[in-house]
Structure 1
Amino acid sequence: MQVPLLDLTLQHREIAGDIAAAMAPVIDEQRFILGPVVDQFEREIEAYLPVTHAIGCASGTDAILLALRAFDCGPGDEVVTSPFTFFATAGAIHNVGARSVFADIQPDTFNLDPACADDAVTERTKVVMPVHLFGQMADMTAFRALGEGRGVRILEDAAQAIGARQRTADGEWITTGTLGDACAFSFFPTKNLGAFGDAGMTVTNDADTAERLRKLRVHGGRQMYHHEEVGYNSRLDALQAAVLRAKLPHLRAWSDARRHHAAFYDGALAGIDGIVTPVVKPDSESIFNQYTLRVLDGRRDALSEHLKAAGIGSGVYYPVPLHLQECFAYLGYREGQFPHAEQACREVLSLPVFPELTQAQLSYVAETIGAFFGR
């Protein structure tokens, strides 16, 4: 039996007609850059989350970069974030001229620890950027309080977590994008809501931030050939918006299926010495963009090879923490400063969890892991 880490062809077969129908008017009208289809998708995301303003852009990386620029974050400023995340988080900080300041993660959820982030704030900190890793929200109530108490902006990196939820102390469910000053999403094809290429979006409840984002994505001007500042060419393509509009009505069901698969793995792998299944906080609802184990005692790579030999895909997200990446050596960090992040890089292994997996495939993955550990 073959079980790939991800197979997007299965999803496409189910909705190919819907996508073709959504793309056809864009092709017929030959309006490929921004336009009414992008406007419609932005309104639909505003309703889905819900937020007041959604601004489409060219990629999830640009969604972060544009938000940082909208916050006037640049040379001399610091941004506190996680060292255990995809490169784009810190890459965008570097590319606006600011300095990444890392803080350690919570070992159970892999998300940025609010207490560690608070300790890392200085008089130069302009933004704190929690990452909602693998589909589970960071503690946004704590980060909202941190931002208000420290006078800094909170930018959510929700590239992997569109639609994830968290319950506040008063019992209210909140979603990604609703408590931060802005929130960045990626629609890279492997995300729960994926385009046919690169695409992204920044959302906010602040009108001034939204207006700035709309300018920055089109070379810094409200009106063509009139530029108030130097911006970017980071517009959401109409064809990508059409694809995403066709997929959006399915998103909740797809995320539900991922949760169902995760629950099966949790039960089937329970009690195996040598692994730790993902921890989801009682007040959180993950969308499981990844189902990520900890593999203990230095056996992660051996388990990965065992799965590969059995025809099962797996992935390591991420093998090297950002503070130890060669390109960030100038920041002056050293090994041992963020032990939880570094340990996660040595232990994490993600299993197939995409919605179209069959029960037979899920069982085969669990049985193969059990056999590796002698169960």
Structure 2
Amino acid sequence: MNNIQMVDLKGQYQKIKNEIDSALLKAVEGAAFINGPEVKQFAENLKQFNKVQSAVTCANGTDALQIAMMALGFKPGDEVIVPAFTYIATVEVIALLGLIPLFIDVRADTFELDHAQLEKTITDKTVGIVTVHLFGQCSNMDAIIAIAQKYKLAVIEDTAQAMGAEYIFRNGAKAFAGTIGNIGTTSFFPSKNLGCFGDGGALLTQDIELGEKAHMIANHGQRKKYHHESIGVNSRLDTVQAAILNVKIKYLNEYSAARQEVAQKYDEGLAEIEELILPVKASYSTHVYNQYTCRVINDNRDSLKTYLQDKGIPTMIYYPVPVHLQKAYQNYGYKEGDFPVAESLCKEVISFPIHTEMKAEMQDHIIESIISFFN
């Protein structure tokens, strides 16, 4: 079977083509390509969707993380706790700002930061925790917030893969991913659940003053043109991307439901394979499945990947090397064996195609092929 993709962006576009084309034409005809009205409208739409006090748009998710740390006042030499199993951007900005990453292991079931290890990781130089809502569901925010408050630490939620996921507090209340800690960051990279046609990012916070500071930093540190109150950066979501996102945010819940339906079919179709550990759904979060990531035990992951590739089925490995073992981060003194769960996950994880346009026959072929490998 041909044309199976990890993400079908073309198919998604075709469904809303008229709306997208109209929004793009309006943005181009308006010619306000930087900070046009569409950008302000999207910030408002993002704020309303996530029920936050402040939403600040920027150029990409990596910038969002950097701006968040700058807005929180982190200084060179400060320590920031970050999971060893994540995309490099989460750690990259820590290094760029002269901060010190304190790596922490993750849970083998949900892939999230292991909050049980937090207290022993904290030192008197620690100022913050970056928790990553990996693959589409929230970390255990009740536990993380409790420890952060105890030690007076800031919490940044990296929500690039979990936009639209809901966290369920112990008391039954709910909140969207990225709206619970001091500040949340996200990416609108095309493959994200809410993706544009290029790069884009945003920050979310319930703290209006912190949001204003983030907005100022993203705009060269200025509130008023040519009057710079702080060191800033140049990080903007352009008008054309905002126009696209204003259309697509209306469909985000529908997109999440479509991904959940695909995930459910995988769950049912692959349930009997003992060597394949399916994604665990946390009791405290919905899952929006930016990725459908399984673990393959008994050293069969790479063989499975090759087998599926030969059948025209793409897969991805997020991530093949834990951050603390990446060459660029060797100077922080970590070594192999320091974070055994993260290291084992890098040898076991595999992500299967999941997207909003998945056809039943395509998914049937994927499931049948996976089963045939293990048989």
Q: CA deviation at 1:33?
A: 1.1
Distance in 2 (CA, whole Å) between partners of 1:316 and 1:74 is 34
Aligned residue for 2:79? 78
Counterpart of 1:27 in 2: which secondary structure? helix
Q: Which segments of structure 1 move beyond 2 Å, counting only runs of 4 or more?
A: none
Distance in 2 (CA, whole Å) between partners of 1:54 and 1:236 is 12
Aligned residue for 2:149? 148
Structure 1 residues 39-118: aligned runs within 5 Å: 39-118=40-119
Q: CA deviation at 1:118?
A: 2.6
Aligned residue for 2:120? 119
Asked if the contact 2:8/2:356 (under 8 Å) is kept, the reply is no
| TM-score relative to the length of structure 2 | 0.98
Q: CA deviation at 1:117?
A: 2.4
Q: CA deviation at 1:95?
A: 1.2
Cα offsets for 1:315-372 (capped at 9, x unmatched): 0000000000000000000000101101110000000010101111111111100000
Q: CA deviation at 1:15?
A: 1.0
Aligned residue for 2:233? 232
Distance in 2 (CA, whole Å) between partners of 1:74 and 1:346 is 35
Aligned residue for 2:296? 295
Aligned CA-pair RMSD: 0.9
Q: Does 1:218 align with 2:219?
A: yes
Q: CA deviation at 1:304?
A: 0.3
Q: CA deviation at 1:6?
A: 1.7
Asked if the contact 2:133/2:162 (under 8 Å) is kept, the reply is yes
Asked if the contact 1:319/1:346 (under 8 Å) is kept, the reply is yes
Asked if the contact 1:79/1:99 (under 8 Å) is kept, the reply is yes
Which letter does structure 2 place at the counterpart of 1:156? E
Which letter does structure 2 place at the counterpart of 1:92? V
Which letter does structure 2 place at the counterpart of 1:159? A
Which letter does structure 2 place at the counterpart of 1:284? S
Asked if the contact 1:51/1:177 (under 8 Å) is kept, the reply is no
Q: Does 1:326 align with 2:324?
A: no
Aligned residue for 1:159? 160
Q: Does 1:207 align with 2:212?
A: no
Q: CA deviation at 1:211?
A: 1.2
Distance in 1 (CA, whole Å) between partners of 2:323 and 2:309 is 27
Cα offsets for 1:51-99 (capped at 9, x unmatched): 1100000000000000000011121101101111111000011111101
Aligned residue for 2:358? 357
Distance in 2 (CA, whole Å) between partners of 1:99 and 1:115 is 21
Which letter does structure 2 place at the counterpart of 1:137? C
Distance in 2 (CA, whole Å) between partners of 1:218 and 1:4 is 37
Q: Does 1:135 align with 2:119?
A: no
Distance in 1 (CA, whole Å) between partners of 2:258 and 2:120 is 38
Distance in 2 (CA, whole Å) between partners of 1:280 and 1:16 is 33
Asked if the contact 1:103/1:338 (under 8 Å) is kept, the reply is yes
Distance in 2 (CA, whole Å) between partners of 1:298 and 1:8 is 32
Asked if the contact 1:66/1:216 (under 8 Å) is kept, the reply is yes
Distance in 2 (CA, whole Å) between partners of 1:262 and 1:118 is 34
Distance in 2 (CA, whole Å) between partners of 1:229 and 1:272 is 56
Which letter does structure 1 place at the counterpart of 2:261? H
Counterpart of 1:184 in 2: which secondary structure? strand
Which letter does structure 2 place at the counterpart of 1:5? M
Cα offsets for 1:94-117 (capped at 9, x unmatched): 111101110000110000011212
Counterpart of 1:284 in 2: which secondary structure? coil
Alignment identity in percent?
40
Distance in 1 (CA, whole Å) between partners of 2:167 and 2:131 is 14
Asked if the contact 2:140/2:284 (under 8 Å) is kept, the reply is no
Aligned residue for 1:317? 318
Counterpart of 1:285 in 2: which secondary structure? coil
Q: Does 1:24 align with 2:25?
A: yes
Distance in 2 (CA, whole Å) between partners of 1:52 and 1:190 is 27
Counterpart of 1:222 in 2: which secondary structure? strand
Q: CA deviation at 1:35?
A: 3.0
What is the total number of aligned residue pairs between the two structures? 374
Distance in 2 (CA, whole Å) between partners of 1:235 and 1:4 is 30
Q: CA deviation at 1:282?
A: 2.4
Asked if the contact 1:33/1:238 (under 8 Å) is kept, the reply is yes
Q: What are structure 2's unaligned runs of at least 5 residues? A: none
Distance in 1 (CA, whole Å) between partners of 2:126 and 2:263 is 37
Asked if the contact 2:127/2:154 (under 8 Å) is kept, the reply is yes
Q: CA deviation at 1:283?
A: 2.7
Counterpart of 2:355 in 1: which secondary structure? coil
Q: What are structure 1's unaligned runs of at least 5 residues? A: none
Counterpart of 1:303 in 2: which secondary structure? helix
